[in-house]
Amino acid sequence: MTVAEWCVFATVMLYLLTIVPIKWIGFRRYNNSRPRDPAFYDDPLRARALGAHQNGIEAFPFFAAAVLLAEFRAAPQNLINELAVLFLIVRIAYVFTYLGDRPRLRSILWNIGFAINIAIFFMPMLRGFWPV
């Protein structure tokens, strides 16, 4: 497996690990028979963790598709790997800014992550221009 493919897996783990600790910490108030109970997410930290988790679910498909498309279309693997690692680092920082209630920095990081996805996605189209 390539580094980029491991980053795809790590991105899934990141969005899962964003919400699981919040549910474990609040285990006395969390009711697994009602996992989407809005009352559990009344606490601001829990609400932000849920938001970060949901955004991770939303960001994942485009990232995974971009990485796989770039690999299938023979874009430079080292560049795919580097951008995928950068995306993962940005997403980790994004989660921390979401949990830390830093909306402006969070939006900046989201835009950087989206730009990285665009770069990965269009890499095969620019394959002839890369000095490989």
**Portion of the chain with pLDDT greater than 90, in percent:** 70
Look at residue 10 and tell me if it is in a domain: no
**What's the structural domain count of the chain?**
1
Asked whether residue 73 carries a pLDDT value surpassing 60, the answer given is yes
Report pLDDT digits (tens) over 96-107: 999 999 999 999
Look at residue 92 and tell me if it is in a domain: yes
Q: What is the pTM of this model?
A: 0.89
Integer Cα distance of 117 and 44 in angstroms: 30
Using left for φ > 0, alpha for ψ between -120 and 50, and beta otherwise, residue 101 falls in left
Compute the mean pLDDT over every residue in the chain, rounded to the nearest whole number: 91
Asked whether residue 5 carries a pLDDT value surpassing 80, the answer given is yes
Q: How confident is the model at residue 25 (pLDDT cuts 50, 70, 90)?
A: confident
- pLDDT score of 130: 62
CATH code assigned at 121: 1.20.120.550
Asked whether residue 127 carries a pLDDT value surpassing 80, the answer given is no
Q: Which residues constitute the domain of residue 86? A: 17-129
Look at residue 76 and tell me if it is in a domain: yes
